[in-house]
């Protein structure tokens, strides 16, 4: 019987991490179904969804992950899923929007914006953040880009008004725009 698994790994960025993980999955007769990978501050992070079958697959995967941690200096975590992953937005109709927040870097931007989204049942599909010095002054400017699923029941004008209040308090700019199908 086919089972679904999630695997996450993090380690110092180097060539071969993806190959190591893909080989681990392949060598155990599994199939890589979906993935997301990024480099953050010199650390490579990956999240994989894969399927496989076999009576002792979980035990063999656990042993292989421990070996990979030791040999390749990665931190690896995997777990079986309760079933196939549900398609995004399966519980309610959601519109896809992009939020862009920029301003002088300060603590609390992500926490405040994400808490507001969570309180409105808005899901975060993807988020990227970066702090970079402004070219002329060197002032650190923080940029946060969020792809989010907004329930159809939430009015965009209300959401924008709520975000404007946070933007004013934090002295940042926040914009929201609908994602076009070509953007996805």
More confident residue, 184 or 62: 62
How confident is residue 4, by pLDDT bands cut at 50, 70 and 90? very high
- This model's pTM is above 0.85: no
Pick the CATH number of 94-183 from 3.10.180.10, 3.30.70.260, 1.10.645.10, 3.30.450.30: 3.30.70.260
Burial 122-141 (b: 16+ CB within 10 A, else e): bbebeeeeeeeeeeeeeeeb
Over the chain, what is the mean pLDDT? 92
Q: Is the pLDDT of residue 90 over 60?
A: no
Return the closest-CA partner of residue 163 out of 178, 176, 150.
176
> What number is the average pLDDT over the span 147-163?
93
In tens, the pLDDT along 44-68 reads: 999 999 999 998 999 999 999 999 9
For the chain, residues classed under CATH 3.30.70.260 are 3-80, 94-183
How confident is residue 92, by pLDDT bands cut at 50, 70 and 90? low
pLDDT score for 91:
52
How confident is residue 87, by pLDDT bands cut at 50, 70 and 90? low
Return the closest-CA partner of residue 5 out of 148, 19, 38, 24.
24
User: Where do we find the tokens 């549900």?
Assistant: 86
Contact 96, 177 (CB under 8 A): no
Looking at 34-150, list the stretches that DSSP marks H as alpha helix, in order from N- to C-terminal side: 57-72, 109-119
Pick the CATH number of 3-80 from 3.40.1280.10, 3.40.50.300, 3.40.50.720, 3.30.70.260: 3.30.70.260
Kindly list the strands in the beta sheet with 31-40, ordered across the sheet, starting from the edge strand earlier in the chain: 31-40, 43-52, 3-12, 75-80
């Amino acid at each position: 019987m086919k089972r679904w698994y999630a695997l996450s790994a993090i380690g110092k960025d180097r060539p071969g991490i993806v190959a190591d993980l893909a080989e681990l999955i392949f060598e155990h007769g599994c199939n890589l179904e979906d993935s997301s990978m990024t480099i953050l501050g010199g650390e490579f992070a990956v999240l994989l969804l894969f399927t496989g079958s076999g009576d002792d697959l979980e035990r063999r995967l656990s042993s292989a992950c421990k070996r990979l941690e030791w040999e390749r200096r990665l931190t690896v975590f995997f777990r079986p899923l309760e079933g196939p992953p549900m398609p995004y937005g399966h519980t309610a109709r959601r519109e896809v929007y992009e939020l862009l927040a920029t301003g002088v870097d300060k603590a609390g931007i992500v926490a405040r914006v994400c808490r507001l989204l969570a309180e409105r049942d808005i899901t975060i599909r993807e988020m990227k953040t970066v702090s970079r010095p402004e070219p002329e002054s060197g002032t650190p400017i923080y940029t946060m880009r969020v792809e989010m699923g907004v329930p159809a029941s939430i009015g965009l004008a209300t959401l924008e008004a709520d975000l404007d209040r946070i933007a004013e308090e934090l002295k940042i700019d926040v914009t929201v725009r609908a994602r076009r199908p070509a953007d996805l």
